Amino acid sequence: MPIYEYACRDCGNQFETLVRTSDTPECPRCHSTQLEKLLSVFATTGDSAKAAPVMPSGCGSCGHPGGPGACGMG
């Protein structure tokens, strides 16, 4: 029994529901069956070395030897 994501065409509600093969899903808000199946995005965990690089915040955090306000980031 997979979980699907839907958007209701009548009221715009987006929701997830467990769907059996014999069931017709309906919107929990307005009970409409006029639904659009949405593309699900899977969440994964990854190696921290492959994560997006973190940009340094404003002046004072980059370690410029001139101190806060000395770098060109601010």
Inside any domain, residue 57 = no
Inside any domain, residue 56 = no
Q: Domain limits at 15?
A: 3-39
Inside any domain, residue 52 = no
Inside any domain, residue 25 = yes
Inside any domain, residue 63 = no
Inside any domain, residue 50 = no
pTM of the model: 0.53
Inside any domain, residue 21 = yes
% of residues, the chain, pLDDT over 90? 39
14's enclosing H/E stretch is strand 14-18
Q: Per residue in 52-70, pLDDT tens?
A: 666 555 555 566 666 666 6
Inside any domain, residue 23 = yes
Structure token digits, residue 72: 């060109």
Given a contact cutoff of 8 angstroms between Cβ atoms, the answer to whether 35 and 7 are in contact is yes
* Residue 12 confidence (pLDDT) above 80: yes
Closest CA to 10 of 25, 20, 27, 67: 27
Domain count, the chain: 1
